[in-house]
Structure 1
Amino acid sequence: MPGIRITGLKATPVNIPLEKPMWWTGGHYPGTSKTIIEVETDQGLVGLGEAPSVDVLATIGEMGARLVGADPLDIAGCESLSVPPWQIVQNTDDSSVVKAFGAIEIALWDLRGKVSGEPLYRLLGGAVRKEIPFTEYFAFRAGGETSPGEVTDYCLRMREEHGATMFEGKLILGDPKLEIDTVKALRTALGPEAMLRLDSNMQWSLPSAIRIFREIEPYDIRNYEDPVATFEEMAELRKHSSIRMSTHVPDIRRAVSLGAPDYIVTNFAVLGGIARTVRFIGACEAMGVGFWCYSGDAGIATAGYLHMSAAMAWITEPSQSLFRWQVGDVIEGGPFRQTNDVIAVPEDPGLGVTLDRSALAHWHRHFVENGPLDHFHDPALPGRFRRLPLN
């Protein structure tokens, strides 16, 4: 489609609540707030993108104004209109421009697919897999599971109802014994074939993590995400256990230098978009660091995960998901939900998803009326940030 030009950009903040808040290190996690992006063109095609937060809303709007008249297929040119030189961006305290443009860049790839009539995975080189695995999530939840037995019963129900065999979860109430007991109960009930991964959101001190790893290692934990606060502590923890570790902090250099963590788990917008994520995964492959995608996104970003996981042979582990708990989405037919651990990659052009405008309006109204969802709320201490004992 020659001569296609950007005519405008819409950025809409939305809330995506969970059916029940889960506990994490910061307090109640009731869901997430996202910014949904529509890049409009003079050919009537609209590209969809998604930012992982709403703090970049103003920055996205400023970038959108600069991009009017630009060629959306010239992604490098659009980046040069939006983002300072990369070496400067990487050495300042403000990464918001990366996240803001990364979300827009996803929409530019969606447009590229719509112009060519090809699904995104084909633009990335083709599919090495068409069914993309995701873990089923478990946690201690307000109004839900609060004991080892209840968490175990929930996972057994997910196996029975949806064919789940891959599980990941947070057991974050500040009690090492409670976590150890829950892991033992899960492995006993689910059997040796089930995949078990854990995520503590950096809740443990190094001595507590060493104790927990010693107790749970016999129960075949596939991976433990951010058990402690720093890469240096993970490297020390590595001396005491063979359990693999992952992080949301995308620092390949330090991971390789220290020998831990083993995997990086992140969002494409955080890395600067689809193109930079492809390069990031290539660097991970060259350095032997694993990669998968994190959870809590709306359907637009999730579609990006599906296409990337379809095209990238290096993504060998299932990505995270909160799909089962999300009560809404902004795409038609959303949220995505796995059966027998997998979701099929979309085959329509671009990301392969369609914006549900009534749902977008509904969840935007939820945002306007309630504000962004607060991930640090502790109901026991109104007005204060949660503090867990480090043990």
Structure 2
Amino acid sequence: MSAAARLGVTGVTITPIAFPDPPLLNSAGVHQPWALRAVVEVRAADGSVGLGETYGDAPHLALLERVAPVLDGLDVFDLNGLRARAAAVLGGADAPDRHGLTGASSTGKTVARVVSPFEVALLDLQGRSTGRPVHDLLGGRVRDRVPFSGYLFYKWAGHPGAPADEYGEAAGPDGIVAQARRMVGRYGFGSLKLKGGVFPPEEEIAAVAALHEAFPDHPLRLDPNCAWSVETSVRVADKTDGLLEYLEDPTSGLAGMAAVAAQAPMPLATNMCVVQPADLPEAVRRGSVQIVLADHHYWGGLTESASLAALCRTWGLGLSMHSNSHLGISLAAMVHLGAATPDLTYAADTHTPWQLGADVVTEPLEITGGAVTVPDGPGLGVTLDREALARMHADYLACGIRERDDTGYLQRFEPSYTRRRPRW
């Protein structure tokens, strides 16, 4: 590329935001009333702005703010330069993750999480400058619609002291089936995933059986987030034989997962014991997992996630996508990745239904028939809603939450609660 054709970064804006989150239960506790995110805007010399979305916890925001100034002058096509500049300024930073992983971290994982929203924003800029959608930059579209799975949670009717939300309480099989009927009726999901690790395994097996009876043609998944021992995991796997498409992270670690996989009748999936490329050789050698859940937010962006897909193809592993509470910029990024990934063998997770319409884009992508139609516009194909951004930033300033803490929030109402893995 000639010097005249280069398009450099002229500035970065990072805006922390908060939006209402239902009281969704999980093995760590319960979601707080506000979910935290951050919107990243990268400005280029031609006046265009690229968008990224990421976690909004205070330690993560501090690392984003360290990287932002060193991006000035960076060519928007220089993704290797982005990673090099970020790694140099972050040095040995190692911030623990609070969004669905084991809690263990490393310098490499931390850099990947910080790089991700900047990389997505640069790809958005590349697409805007060339008039091409991001999926073209990732290798080309292989599907017109990206399938998603209905994500079911045990939950309270509403946060204590607040009215019940539109989904109401789900504390057993009947509540989970009612929740699933509502989601399938509204969004047309063709598969369903239950977040487990909340109640004794027998109760969650009963919920899976009830879902199978209510939706006999829907593939089902169960994810207890490592709440079970190896022995309990094997027992649950045996009792759900014929009911589950896959069992996700029943127990901790590559060794524990391998012990379960050796006896489980269904494939095991993970977003907790394989979280970086270096984890894959041991996972394959042990036979720990058969499906990996990608997540561009902590794999280092869309191009690194595409590389993960190629590695999974090499070793014959299935591929899906993990989700946490997110808004429309992240959904758009996931859709572009799914559109350009031939090896997306399972419908992806999404929390979009749980955001109850909250978004920071002017025309949110819609889930219909259990899938999202791939945008064809330049870049990500979404536009920032600045009024919504300002409102959500004001909510961030007012809500008082600065780090996700599912355990601490549950302990406010159940002081004796302790987080344990395994719990059963």
TM-score by length of 1: 0.92
Q: Structure 1 residues 206 and 271, CA, compared in 2 at 3 Å: closer, same or farther?
A: same
1:261-313 deviations in Å (ceiling 9; x for gaps): 11221321312222222222211211112222211222112111101111110
Is the CA contact (8 Å cut-off) linking 2:14 and 2:38 kept in structure 1?
yes
Query: For 1:179 and 1:297, how far apart are their aligned partners in 2?
Result: 26
By how many angstroms is 1:140 displaced?
0.8
Q: Structure 1 residues 67 and 225, CA, compared in 2 at 3 Å: closer, same or farther?
A: same
1:93 paired with 2:106, answer yes
Aligned to 2:70: 66
SS at the partner of 2:41?
strand
Q: Which among 348, 361, 379 is matched to residue 331 of structure 1? A: 361
Aligned to 1:13: 16
Query: For 2:385 and 2:289, how far apart are their aligned partners in 1?
Result: 39
Q: Which among 40, 47, 52 is matched to residue 44 of structure 1? A: 47
Q: Structure 1 residues 369 and 86, CA, compared in 2 at 3 Å: closer, same or farther?
A: closer
- Higher relative contact order, chain-length normalized (CA < 8 Å, sep 6+): 1
What amino acid is aligned across from residue 384 of structure 2 in structure 1? L
Aligned to 2:163: none
Is the CA contact (8 Å cut-off) linking 1:309 and 1:315 kept in structure 2?
yes
Query: For 1:41 and 1:85, how far apart are their aligned partners in 2?
Result: 21
Query: For 1:203 and 1:184, how far apart are their aligned partners in 2?
Result: 20
1:380 paired with 2:405, answer no
By how many angstroms is 1:171 displaced?
2.9
Aligned to 2:124: 110
Q: Structure 1 residues 383 and 38, CA, compared in 2 at 3 Å: closer, same or farther?
A: farther
By how many angstroms is 1:382 displaced?
4.5
Q: Which among 320, 329, 346 is matched to residue 375 of structure 2? A: 346
By how many angstroms is 1:15 displaced?
2.1
Query: Which stretch of the first structure deviates more once superposed, 106-115 or 70-79?
Result: 70-79
Aligned to 1:211: 235
SS at the partner of 2:313?
helix
1:175-201 deviations in Å (ceiling 9; x for gaps): 11111111111111112x111111111
1:227-265 deviations in Å (ceiling 9; x for gaps): 111121111112222211111132212221111211221
What amino acid is aligned across from residue 134 of structure 2 in structure 1? L
Query: For 1:206 and 1:80, how far apart are their aligned partners in 2?
Result: 40
Query: For 1:354 and 1:284, how far apart are their aligned partners in 2?
Result: 33
Query: For 1:153 and 1:67, how far apart are their aligned partners in 2?
Result: 48
1:23 paired with 2:52, answer no
By how many angstroms is 1:86 displaced?
12
1:285 paired with 2:324, answer no
Aligned to 2:198: 173
Query: For 2:226 and 2:80, how far apart are their aligned partners in 1?
Result: 36
Query: For 1:366 and 1:387, how far apart are their aligned partners in 2?
Result: 32
Within 5 A, what are the aligned runs for 1:295-306?
295=323, 296-306=325-335
By how many angstroms is 1:2 displaced?
2.2
How many pairs does the alignment contain? 386
By how many angstroms is 1:358 displaced?
1.3
SS at the partner of 2:394?
helix
Query: Which stretch of the first structure deviates more once superposed, 303-312 or 95-104?
Result: 95-104
By how many angstroms is 1:118 displaced?
0.4
Aligned to 2:164: none
Is the CA contact (8 Å cut-off) linking 1:89 and 1:98 kept in structure 2?
no
RMSD: 2.4
SS at the partner of 2:205?
helix
Is the CA contact (8 Å cut-off) linking 2:90 and 2:111 kept in structure 1?
no
Query: For 2:113 and 2:187, how far apart are their aligned partners in 1?
Result: 34
By how many angstroms is 1:27 displaced?
0.3
Q: Which among 80, 83, 86 is matched to residue 79 of structure 1? A: 83
1:200 paired with 2:212, answer no
Query: For 1:42 and 1:324, how far apart are their aligned partners in 2?
Result: 37
Is the CA contact (8 Å cut-off) linking 1:252 and 1:289 kept in structure 2?
no
What amino acid is aligned across from residue 137 of structure 1 in structure 2? Y
Q: Structure 1 residues 217 and 111, CA, compared in 2 at 3 Å: closer, same or farther?
A: same
Aligned to 1:238: 261
Identity of aligned residues (%): 28
